[in-house]
Structure 1
Amino acid sequence: MPHEIFLTAVVPVADVTTARSVLGGVTEMRERHQFTKVRYLQRQDAGLKTLEKLKEYQKERGPNAVRWQELHQILLKQSYILQERINITQEVMANTGDASAVVPTAQPRLLRWNDIPDPPSSRLPAFITQRKMLEISDRRLPKIFSDTKFIAKAESIEESYQWWLNNAEYALTRTYPLAPGSQQEVPNLTGLEPLAPSWVLYVRVQVDSNPERMQQGHAQLSRVRDRLLRVFDFKVFDRRAHDTRIMEPRQL
């Protein structure tokens, strides 16, 4: 299963223009400005362990069948909050009025699952976060979530500037919370307030579970950190800040 390995730094709004300039210079590429609609979903009954509907997708041909099988096994053991991610850049850029635009039904959709990050260890530097991840691209996600009794608990729009270098993604992001129930809507951003008065920089790579590959990822991010340390303060976060597990109430 793939692992996501990343660095994290908080960037004040006043420093964003400088940060974008630095990252463009480091990667020697133009930034990509993107908006993503994110829905955070969980099962209506977190204690329910049957997911019969997912078995139907495991029988289909193609790479997604294996991913659906992996997700099925994960959710049988533990309930998680899942993400549905939709690129709405075109809709946001075109929406110059006060009215909300609509997310096209045929728009590609991505399911993302993240595990709780690995605990600190002698092999994992404290400033690096490492976790298992799974992504499934499927336009049928709204129906799949409905069939498997997943409901949206929160929604947001994620704005990001992105660069790439040596298979590493540099993503400067901020989040706009949305009112519940806006599944098909793309509101005008001028009426929204960001979640925090700052942006977050992620520098991340994806590797497989091979220990050698993971160590190479650690080494690559360590070099990136050393190179950017005078510009960005990469923080050490408690891994529970990234915990997407849903804890079931204890039986008395």
Structure 2
Amino acid sequence: MPHEIFLTAVVPDADVTTARSVLGGVTEMRERHQFNRVRYMQRQDAGPKTLDKLKEYYQKERGPNTVRWQELHQILLKQSYILQERISITQEVMASTGDAAAIVPPTQSRLLRWNDFPDPSSSRLPTFITQRKMLEIGDRRLPKILSDTKFIVKAESVEESYQWWLNNAEYSLTRTFPLAPGTQQEVPNMAGLEPLAPFWVLYVRIQVDSNPERMQQGHAQLSRVRDRLLRVFDFKVFDRRAHDTRNMEPRQL
């Protein structure tokens, strides 16, 4: 199962233009500006029987995502998690005039993301690096699959980001716009939204497999990135509970 390892820094709104310039210079590439509608999904019924539908999907239709669905099924049988359903609305936001509600085509790809509780720091894992298992599954049928397996929307947001890549590492400046409960418009008018906080979050991410040698190589690469950018960005050490996606509500048997 792949692991996501990353650095985290907070960038005040007043400094974000400078930060974008620095990251563009470091990576020597043009930034990619994106918007994603994010739904945070939790199971309404945490009992194992409600996951039978999920098992039916991956047993009936063998495909490139079959192994990932099977892994997610086994994970959810043991522990309930908050999942993310992500859909890109970049083109719709950029093309929107604000006069009419933009609509996301039904054929638009959707991404399901699961993140595990991060690993504790150790002699092999520096405190400034967060490391966790993760799964991503792209499937246009996600709304139906999530509905059939009794997932409901816990919260929704729009995520705005600027992205760059260098040596398999993703550099992402991100901010979040919370959506009011029950927001029906799939592509809301961004002019009417307020960001969650007066800052952006910089993530420097690498995906590696579970091979210990590959993970150590990833740690070394992120350590070099941190050393290079330390005069510009204050990379924080966060309590791993800040990234806890486990749903701790009582399970129904």
Question: 1:206: how far off?
Answer: 0.1
Q: After superposition, give the CA deviation of every residue in 1:68-127 in whole Å (9 maximum; x if it has no partner).
A: 000000000000000000010000011122443222211100000000100111110000
Which residue of structure 2 aligns with residue 42 of structure 1? 42
User: Which residue does 2:97 correspond to in 1?
Assistant: 96
Q: Residue by residue, what CA displacement relative to the aligned partner does 1:7-60 show, whole Å, maximum 9, x if unpaired?
A: 0000000000000000000000000000001000001123x1221111122222
Matched, 1:115 2:101: no
Identity, in percent, stands at 87
Could you tell me whether the CA contact under 8 Å between 1:103 and 1:184 is conserved in 2?
Answer: no
* Other-structure match for 2:217: 216
Question: Deviation per CA, 1:162-193, whole angstroms, max 9, x where unpaired?
Answer: 00000000000000001223355211101000
**Helix, strand or coil: the match of 2:214?**
helix
One-letter identity of the residue aligned with 1:10: V
What residue identity is the alignment partner of 2:218? Answer: G
TM-score (norm 2): 0.96
Aligned partner of 1:236 in structure 2 is 237
1:60-75 aligned within 5 A: 60-75=61-76
Aligned counterpart, 2:55: 55
Secondary structure of the structure 2 residue equivalent to 1:213:
helix
**Structure 1 segments unaligned to the other structure (5+ residues):** none
Q: CA RMSD in A?
A: 1.3
Amino acid at match of 1:3: H
CA contact (8 A) 1:27 1:165 kept: yes
User: Residue 82 of structure 2 contacts residue 247 of structure 2 at CA under 8 Å; is this kept in 1?
Assistant: yes
| Paired AA for residue 246 in structure 2 | R
Is the CA contact (8 Å cut-off) linking 1:100 and 1:187 kept in structure 2?
Answer: yes
Q: How far is the alpha carbon of 1:248 from its aligned partner?
A: 2.9
**How does 1:151-190 map onto structure 2 within 5 Å?**
151-182=152-183, 185-190=186-191
3-state secondary structure, aligned to 2:48: coil
Normalized against structure 1, the TM-score is what? 0.96
Amino acid at match of 1:49: P
Residue identity matched to 2:134: M
Distance 1:12 1:121 in 2: 30
- Asked if the contact 2:37/2:186 (under 8 Å) is kept, the reply is no
* Aligned mates of 1:184, 1:151 — CA distance in 2: 17
Q: 1:135 & 1:230 partners in 2: Cα distance?
A: 33
Q: Secondary structure at the match of 1:186?
A: coil
- 5+ residue gaps, structure 2, are none
CA distance in 2, matches of 1:95, 1:42: 31
Residue in 2 that maps onto 1:225: 226
Amino acid at match of 1:119: P
Q: Which residue of 2 aligns with 1:83?
A: 84
Could you tell me how far apart the structure 1 residues matched to 2:191 and 2:146 are? 30
* Secondary structure at the counterpart of residue 185 of structure 1: coil
